[in-house]
Amino acid sequence: MKRRNDIRNVAIIAHVDHGKTTLVDSLIKFSGQFRESQLQQECILDSNDQERERGITILAKNIALTYGDTKINIIDTPGHADFGGEVERVLRMADGALVLVDSFEGPRPQTRFVLQKALEVGLQPLVVVNKIDRPDARPLDVLNETFDLFVELGADDATLDFPYVFASGRSGYASHDPATRSGDIRPLLDLIIERIPGPEVDEEAPLQYMVTSLTYSEFVGRIATGRISCGKIKTGQTISLMKADGSIKNEKVVALEVFDKLGRTPVQEATAGDIVAITGLSKPEIGDTVADPAFPKAMPRISVDEPTISMVFTINSSPFAGAKEGGGKYLTTRHLRDRLDRELESNVALRVTEASDKEAFNVSGRGVLHLSVLIEQMRREGYELSVGKPQVIRKRIDGKIYEPFEILVVDVPQNEVGPVMEIVGNRRGEVTNMTTNSTGMSHLEFSIPARGLIGIRTRMLNATRGEAIIHHQFDCYKPIEGDVPRRANGVLVSQERGKVVAFALGKLQERSELFVAPGDEVYEGMIVGENSRDTDMVVNPIREKKLTNMRASGSDENIILKPPRRLSLEAALEYIEDDEYVEVTPSIIRLRKIRLTETERKQHSRGSVTE
């Protein structure tokens, strides 16, 4: 075995919003290898539409920079807990990790998660205390907190002697002095070359390469990305593809590419330590091993943490399914199955099983955001579907039922601590830590059942006037707790199909909050508002004023309507109850009852009582 000094494979890991993608921007701009047109936008690697709109990284991405005589392969990873599967699968490609920590916030739940995964696979950490130009920065304290986190995670003495640097990704400089406010990013690149080792390789050993990422091209099919652990790969070479079930298929490498700048460059040969993309394999899957046909030996498959949240995906059965204006192109169960199967190829943290109803699927993921990103992507691709209420996935251990618990971290002004404690306490949360810093912000940590988190974000932001900063991370499974309060209010359900009339809404808004506006199309069973009481109420939102040929002074009145409450996809998923669906189409998101007619709902409720 020998080490390659001409290459460094580095993953960038951190909590959400600690500046990973912005730091990559600085590295890209400093390298001087890119055209001006490629550097126009911020967060250059966040190329996905949803990533730009949400301001978060969803998919891990690879780029390559040259610094001196060394090629640096950089893997940018998501910071949100729901996309932890993306982090887990790509860490196998790296030899070191840049651990970014915000100079004010310090280590957060996702910092703990990704650092633990990095230490498990033996990566060399390099701590970057980022955003040191914040007015409230406390870089030295944060560095000490990061050291304490390493100790908690059981790091050995060699790992505890980790290198570190202070930086501002947005301003584009790094320094060993936390008081520095100028310069360039060179000190960080020097530290990467000096302290992160090159890959340890054996070029003469039989070929071994694990597929850790998949992309799809309409022209060449699936493109498998991974790192060569041993041996060499050549274009046109015959290889053995080793599957999860133990089967071995001989395939031919049609094209071989290495990462270069923001894209890929074709090569004839790649050796151990290189991160390469292979084209021509018929049906590669994440975790498959590409091996030498003469010595086929599989590598240990990628294992990721189990999903904690499940939702029902089914066809859109509403009267407006496939509507001419704004309707979808893909409406059937077959379309839905094919799309979910395609998602499973690249989304390692996702699980899909067929429900008892043949037209429905149970889709499981890491959280509501993880699944809502998939739903939003499907909506933009032209799919119509109905989605049920998120449910936690429980386990039976030693005859007892266990449920997932999460660590909930809330930062909030001191005067807003009361409402936060009340909301979390009502949802079976327990305080595990509580501190207050010099700026008057309180830092609260809770242990809370995962089902208690469903809908908590909207409620907490409303209670704290938008000042709460909320993060959560899976912790463990514990014995099931008591009931968690459901939605406090019932809903208004339309009993007719047609266009909403202002006259009808004028009467309804006195006792409710409306989700529709005059002119909106509604149908029987569609939810049009929130009732002021805790029961559902059937209403007629299309009722018009009766016209007569008698006119009297003062009989006409101006109807002043409050603006309707429009729910985003995540808010809608958190709002619904067990007997309701979110109807998702390319143009609109609606709420509806699963059983559209009042007669069906009454019959079902009587049957439930009888049982």
Which residues are annotated as part of the binding site for GTP? 17-22, 130-133
In this structure, the strands spanning 124-130 and 96-102 are parallel
Which tokens sit at 518?
């005059």
How far is residue 331's CA from residue 314's CA, in Å, rounded to a whole number? 10
Which tokens sit at 610?
């009888």
For tokens 């080793």, what's the residue? 242
| DSSP run (H or E) holding 75 | strand 70-76
Under DSSP, is residue 375 helix (H, G, I), strand (E, B) or coil?
helix
How far is residue 381's CA from residue 546's CA, in Å, rounded to a whole number? 44
Which tokens sit at 72?
């640096």
Under DSSP, is residue 308 helix (H, G, I), strand (E, B) or coil?
coil
List strand residue ranges (DSSP E) for 77-161, in order: 96-102, 124-130
Distance of CA 343 to the CA centre of its chain: 14
Count how many Cα atoms sit within 13 Å of the Cα of residue 585 in the half-sphere of its side chain: 21
Residue 320, judged by CB atoms within 10 A of its CB (0-12, 13-18, 19+), counts as: buried
**Could you tell me which residues come within 8 angstroms of residue 12 by beta carbon, excluding any fewer than 6 positions away?**
20, 23, 24, 74, 75, 76, 77, 97, 98, 100
Query: How many residues can be counted in the chain?
Result: 611
Report whether 380 contacts 320 (CB < 8 A).
no
**Could you tell me which residues come within 8 angstroms of residue 549 by beta carbon, excluding any fewer than 6 positions away?**
none
Give, to the nearest 10 degrees, the angle between helix 20-31 and helix 186-195: 100
Which tokens sit at 13?
């890991």
Alpha helices in 417-558 (DSSP H): 417-426, 456-463, 502-508
Cα torsion for 298, 300, 304, 306, to the nearest 10°? 90
Binding residues: 17-22, 130-133
How far is residue 364's CA from residue 230's CA, in Å, rounded to a whole number? 35
In this structure, the strands spanning 238-242 and 248-252 are antiparallel
For tokens 């046109």, what's the residue? 236
Report whether 439 contacts 518 (CB < 8 A).
no
How far is residue 442's CA from residue 429's CA, in Å, rounded to a whole number? 17
In this structure, the strands spanning 589-593 and 580-584 are antiparallel
How far is residue 206's CA from residue 180's CA, in Å, rounded to a whole number? 49
Which tokens sit at 67?
């610094």
